[in-house]
Amino acid sequence: MTDIKELLQAATEIAKIGGEHTLKYFKKDFEVISKADDSPVTIADRETEKVIRKEIQKRFPDHGIIGEEYGRTNQESPVQWVLDPIDGTKSFIHGIPFYTTLVGVMINNEPVVGIINAPALDELCAAAIGEGATLNGTPCKMRNVKNLSEVTFLVTEINHFRTMGYGEMFQELLDETKIHRTWGDAYGHMMVAVGRADLMFDPELHIWDAAALLPIMKESGGIFSDMDGSETIHSGNGFSTNKQLFPQIKAILDKHKK
């Protein structure tokens, strides 16, 4: 089995390679295509995933890959790399630097390594289970906020909660917290991990959105959980917060459970 420190180092290097490739298109003219679900994709998304896949296959030919743009390869491998070449494509399209390149590594379906690279901001958050979390190589921790009344609460899109039937839950979280901003996608989760915010909530997540998040939140002293309170990336939703706030947030979620 590949050593987790080796995986962390490799994932960091590969996420940097991918992120660097996105910058070739950032704030440039390119075609935007709508997928079947009406979400946008660009040549930068697809090229970047190809670049990352090539680098993984060169270093770890026996490992599997799960990517947003090109699906799964080597599904029988116990080690799976999970990729989102540009998380926050809408930000990317509009020249906003809050997009990220996500690289996660799972062993036996459990996330063990996570990288959130924000190349346009030159910020990279990395973690491996048992190895701590870092921002640009310096250890990072969540803020020690204990009450919802002190919380900076982040989401990607407000309307998403309403269309998915979580409007009342969102409104209560909004009422109970101090500050609300839509600095979203994985960059919002990274801001929680490094102590700039306290709660980031996504009512809908794919595995390539979530795989990098759990190791980073856990190693920065907090929790990445689904809406039922399970620390998993497989439920299709998730939020990041610290351990002191988790029970208070979970109580609100349970109150509004469908």
Nearest 5°: the CA angle 77, 42, 156 is 80
| Range of lowest pLDDT (4-8, 35-39, 141-145) | 35-39
Rounded distance between C-alpha atoms, residue 128 and residue 10, angstroms: 12
Give me the pLDDT at residue 48, please: 95
Give me the pLDDT at residue 36, please: 54
Residue written as tokens 């809408």? Answer: 90
Nearest to 56 by CA among 81, 79, 74: 81
The whole-number average pLDDT for the span 30-39 is: 61
| Domains, the chain, with CATH or none | 4-139 (3.30.540.10), 148-255 (3.40.190.80)
Rounded distance between C-alpha atoms, residue 127 and residue 104, angstroms: 10
pLDDT bin (cut points 50, 70, 90) of residue 28 is confident
The whole-number average pLDDT for the span 107-122 is: 97
The answer on pLDDT for 33 being more than 90 is no
Per residue in 61-93, pLDDT (tens digit) is: 999 999 988 999 999 999 999 999 999 999 999
Per residue in 145-201, pLDDT (tens digit) is: 999 999 999 999 998 899 999 999 999 999 999 999 998 999 999 999 999 999 999
Other CB atoms within a 10 A radius of the CB of residue 163 amount to 11
Nearest to 4 by CA among 90, 109, 113, 82: 113
Count of alpha carbons within 13 angstroms of residue 68, beta-carbon side: 30
Give me the pLDDT at residue 39, please: 63
